[in-house]
Amino acid sequence: MTTYDFDLFVIGGGSGGVRAARMAAQRGARVALAEVLGTEGLGGTCVNVGCIPKKLYSYAAHYAEAAEEAHGFGWEGTAPTLNWDTLKTNRAKEISRLNGVYSHLLHGSGVVVMNGFARLTSEHTLTVATLNADGSAGHQEVSAQHILVATGGTPHVPHFSGREHVITSDDVFDLPTFPQRLVVVGGGYIACEFASIFNGLGSRVTQLYRGEQVLRGFDDEIRHFLAAEMAKAGVDLRLNAGVVSVRQQGDGLHVLLEDGNTLQADAVLYATGRVPNVAGLGLDAVGVAQGAQGAVLVNAQYQTNVPHIYAVGDVTARVQLTPVALGEAMVVVDQLFGPAAGKPARTMGYDCIPTAIFTHPNVGTVGLSEAQAREQFGHITLYRSEFRALKHTLSGSTERTLMKLVVDTATDRVVGLHMVGAEAGEIVQGFAVAMKAGATKAVFDSTLGIHPTAAEEFVTMRDPVKAG
Ligand code: NDP
């Protein structure tokens, strides 16, 4: 029988990789994980340059709103001003604490963490280019019965003149000086979130999107409503807009637009999608099948076409969300090493993935958009509520909230639930459980509200807006 150094070798120390390594080790497997630990520690995009720092900056931006809105509640005095360096320092401290937590969890479960870049040399062997303690380069050959590719993704910036002057979400958290004028290019999660956040922090933000409306794929009404709220909050959102070139001039960056206008900016943030991190992994040499932009192709068990090599998370370019990578990692571990004691093997469903966009106001959504539901079920019933949140009756803010339910008329099942408004992510998470359980509109109707909250609107919408 062939013996290997490890039962599982994980390439990548992000959400999916760390979860898989830790859980496999807890099941008694011999596990190693390779990650290049440089300026960024363990935890991948989510911890270092994604979800966590983004949410912290979103909180920071909300304080500006809160300070303004407090006047209506009787608070007096001038608003505080942002110290960008303090925010950056405190964020960095928290991120390095989290890096430490991840490291502690891995070491505590017995995972061998290798600081280096791993490359596949055969179906069962890898070379890890390591950095020795004295700074010299070394390398280590290892073998493993199973290999998991969990290398995530990286921002993609299209080619155009002046591309070298723009930044991505990897750079935006640590800009040396606060950008008073920020141009954001893109209309997806990242572009909308950073446009909102920097607008809240005090930048003059122009967001350029190439299409008719931001957040393609989301419910149309939600897209339009959010765009209007973002514009009301101060984001200069320009649709059907594109960049020709970016030039560095004495007074900042000059962004030449397709319509002939020029914008001046201190920073230009490109949030035009992410591509899988596959360069140098040796996937082609070993014959791992790859799709568009190098995405690792996997079957329903997260197995590539090469036996014993698996992949989860953003490197598969399917649903690029941390909880999805975590879920996929746990399915792989249960398959390979058995489920946790007394628990059934985990499965992963992609039909009701709740998600939030941390714009100001937030978007929260689970299930199908109106258009998707109409296509899938034919007859749908819609419920909709739009209102000014109680807080804003005194705050002076004109922000409005939209909530929407999409119901399959034939079965009465709620198949889509959408919200634009404060804490939409927090609210939608709970409703996602009900949706996963197949709740009908009648179940929503029989649920009592919590008064006074915005969330209660989801259980008090009585009259459909459109039938059929
Ligand atoms: P998205 O794929 O969501 O959006 C990319 C945007 O860039 C789209 O608006 C797209 O336009 C536009 N775009 C693409 N190529 C070009 C181009 N060449 N020129 C101009 N515009 C272009 O990617 P993001 O980078 O925003 O985020 C990546 C993923 O990360 C998301 O899909 C999401 O899964 C995840 N994420 C999740 C978050 C959360 O859960 N809150 C937060 C941040 C990211 P078009 O629509 O026309 O194609």
pLDDT (tens digit, 9 = 90+) per residue, 28-67? 999 999 999 988 899 999 999 999 999 999 999 999 999 9
Q: Which of 46, 216, 320, 353 to mutate to test the pocket of ligand 1 (most atoms within 8 A of CB)?
A: 320
What is the number of the ligand 1 atom nearest to the C-alpha of 211? 47
Q: For ligand 1, atom 30, name the residue with the nearest CA.
A: 320
Ligand 1 interacting residues, C-beta cut-off 6 A:
158, 185-191, 193, 209-211, 216, 271-274, 320-321, 355-358
Q: What is the pLDDT of residues 108-117, one digit of tens each?
A: 999 999 999 9
User: Which parts of 346-388 are beta strand (E)?
Assistant: 355-357, 363-367, 380-387
Residues 232 and 196 occupy one common structural domain: yes
Residues 146 and 27 occupy one common structural domain: yes
Which residues face 131 on adjacent strands?
137
Active-site option among 62, 71, 139, 451: 451
Last residue of a domain, one of 249, 272, 295: 272
DSSP, res 298: -
Q: What is the pLDDT of residues 192-246, one digit of tens each?
A: 999 999 999 999 999 999 999 999 999 999 999 999 999 999 999 999 999 999 9
In-domain check, residue 1: no
Is the distance from CB of 67 to CB of 79 less than 8 angstroms? yes
Residues 268 and 287 occupy one common structural domain: no
Q: Rounded mean pLDDT of 63-89?
A: 95
Are β-strands 401-408 and 267-270 bridged in parallel, bridged antiparallel, or unpaired?
unpaired
Which domain range does residue 165 map to? 157-272
Is the distance from CB of 286 to CB of 123 less than 8 angstroms? yes
Residues 24 and 65 occupy one common structural domain: yes
Task: Please name the amino acid found at residue 361.
Answer: P
Structure tokens at 33: 């994980």
DSSP, res 80: P
Q: Which of 52, 210, 358, 423 to mutate to test the pocket of ligand 1 (most atoms within 8 A of CB)?
A: 210
Q: CA-CA distance, 399 to 233, in Å (whole number)?
A: 8
Between the CA of 355 and the centroid of ligand 1 the distance, in Å, is 14
Interhelix angle for 189-201 vs 220-233, to 10°? 20
Between the CA of 373 and the centroid of ligand 1 the distance, in Å, is 23
Three-state SS at 89? helix
Q: For ligand 1, atom 15, name the residue with the nearest CA.
A: 272
Three-state SS at 149? strand
Is the distance from CB of 256 to CB of 160 less than 8 angstroms? no
Write the CATH number for 401: 3.30.390.30
Last residue of a domain, one of 310, 337, 364: 337
Between the CA of 142 and the centroid of ligand 1 the distance, in Å, is 37
Is the distance from CB of 101 to CB of 86 less than 8 angstroms? no
Task: Please name the amino acid found at residue 197.
Answer: I
Q: For ligand 1, atom 32, name the residue with the nearest CA.
A: 320
Is the distance from CB of 239 to CB of 211 less than 8 angstroms? yes
Residues 141 and 181 occupy one common structural domain: no
Is the distance from CB of 439 to CB of 447 less than 8 angstroms? no
Annotation marks residue 451 as catalytic: yes
Q: What is the pLDDT of residues 156-171, one digit of tens each?
A: 999 999 999 999 999 9
Three-state SS at 434? helix
**Higher-scoring residue by pLDDT: 22, 130:** 22
Q: CA-CA distance, 15 to 116, in Å (whole number)?
A: 18
Residues 127 and 14 occupy one common structural domain: yes
